[in-house]
Amino acid sequence: MRNVLITGANTGIGLATAEALAERGDRIWLANRSAEKTRAVVLELARRYPKARIEGLSLDLADLASVRACAARFEAAHEPLHVLIANAGLAGQRGATKQGFELAFGTNHLGHFLLTQGLLPALLRANGARVVVVASRAHYRAKSLDLTALRQPTATYTGIAEYGVSKLANVLFAKELARRFEGKGISTYALHPGVVRSDIWRRIPWPIRALATWHMITNEEGAKTSLHCANEPGLDGKSGLYWDKCEERMPSELAQRRDLAEELWTRSEEWTRE
């Protein structure tokens, strides 16, 4: 039985991903901010998929202390972690994280960066783990990665530009994680799930949201690429690649820059250090 940890798994494509993995009979750890919603999902999945084991974890990616506590709780079980799916995310929200980072960057990238660091011992114990990072085509719209701007609240009215930067950070992180752990038993994949009709868009202003949601796909369709990267045999030799509709795609030019990936990794280490 594999151990699979999914962030943001009480709704949207995270929940659809969890359902598909529960049907396989995996042991699934649902890491979410809302304990009440998580309990309800744990009970429902356990009822529907009795062969699976469903656990709940408390996780607020916008608070690094919460991220550390989540990783520590999983590590306390002394279990291997076979698959980590960094799925949780937000878009169209303005503000800052508890530690003062731009909200989308701090939640979508920095929280997942620290969570992955805390779970590295468990991933290495699996001796063939996969880290699946749910990014977005929005990373193509990011024109730069201004690291100084990431230490302050959201600057734009819609937060869409900051969302694109956070997704660029996701792709860079996956690429650098793959490079650093090549040959060490951890494979990493970044992906675009499709434009999914999920809760991530709920805070975007209405006119933009109406346009954005016009041709959206279902959560089940959106989960397919995450499931492909988590389950498909023979992908170990394709670590660090970017996926879209279950196929390899070329990410943006910025996302291919090793110097940028290394700089982001170094800064992320500094920013998440206690």
Which residues are known to be catalytic? 163
| 113: amino acid identity, one letter | F
Please report, for residues 6, 51, 52, 89, 232, the alpha-carbon distance to residue 45 in angstroms, rounded to integers and kept in the order given: 14, 10, 8, 22, 23
Please report, for residues 97, 102, 144, 179, the alpha-carbon distance to residue 148 in angstroms, rounded to integers and kept in the order given: 15, 10, 12, 25
- Closest by CA to 52, choosing from 18, 11, 96, 102, is 18
Token couple for 273: 């250090």
Token couple for 142: 């990011």
Contacts of 237 (CB under 8 A, 6+ apart): none
Q: How far apart are the first and last CA of the chain?
A: 34
Q: What CA–CA distance (Å, rounded) separates 91 from 19?
A: 24
Q: What CA–CA distance (Å, rounded) separates 53 from 125?
A: 20
Q: What CA–CA distance (Å, rounded) separates 44 from 11?
A: 13
